[in-house]
Amino acid sequence: MVPRALRPASLLAALALAPIVLEGAPAGALSGVPAGVEALLGAVGTLGGVNAYATFMAIGAVADGWVRETYDADTAVRVVGVLKTLVRSAADSLEELIRSGVLREDDRVYLRGVTEVYGRLEAEAASFVVWVQTGERRSFDEARAMAWKTILDTLALPREEALE
């Protein structure tokens, strides 16, 4: 059975609640940016949210795989390290877009939220490595809970759909 929060309709509905481009905005509404660029910015916002959600799920899947001995410690740490590097790169790209001056304030607010999620995911990944290396799991559980809360807030996912 697929958890309710993973059903496509739930994710699509959540992403529809948090677009970075206002529906029906006139061409050039974003500081003189051509209309096609507005669609591009909308895609960036949607993909940022999807990436955050998928990275959260991937870190959890690797952690589950390590606990169940599907992954050895070295493999689990390496995979989570790659996820951490990718999420940092995505955050850097979004931060550059935020600083570019082409976004409206509501767009900047949303993308700052996504970059906050990415920071939480980096912390989750780092705490997973600590757990693998030391056996101390509490910080991972706390970081994971904080990442999930930030994802729910940023993507406006309904609380009843939370993966608890």
Residue 81 placed within a domain:
yes
State the residue range of the domain holding 134: 35-157
**pLDDT for residue 160:** 64
Give the residue-averaged pLDDT of 11-26: 37
Phi, psi of 145 (to 5 degrees): -65, -40
Burial group, residue 88, by CB count within 10 angstroms (0-12, 13-18, 19+): middle
pLDDT band at residue 41 using 50, 70 and 90 as cut-offs: confident
The residue that leads in pLDDT, 28 or 81, is: 81
Say if residue 26's pLDDT is above 50.
Answer: no
Contacts of 112 (CB under 8 A, 6+ apart): 98
Residue 76 placed within a domain:
yes
Residue 96 placed within a domain:
yes
**pLDDT for residue 86:** 97
Residue 22 placed within a domain:
no
Say if residue 134's pLDDT is above 80.
Answer: yes
Measure Cα distances from 103 to 39, 40, 111, 118, 134 in Å: 12, 12, 10, 20, 44
Total domains in the fold of the chain: 1
Number of H helices, E strands in the chain: 5, 0
Measure Cα distances from 37 to 25, 40, 42, 90 in Å: 12, 5, 9, 19
Q: Are residues 121 and 52 in contact, defined by beta-carbon separation less than 8 angstroms?
A: yes
Say if residue 61's pLDDT is above 70.
Answer: yes
The terminus-to-terminus CA distance of the chain in angstroms comes to 15
Residue 150 placed within a domain:
yes
Give the residue-averaged pLDDT of 149-161: 84
pLDDT digits (tens, 9 = 90+) for 28-40: 445 555 778 778 8
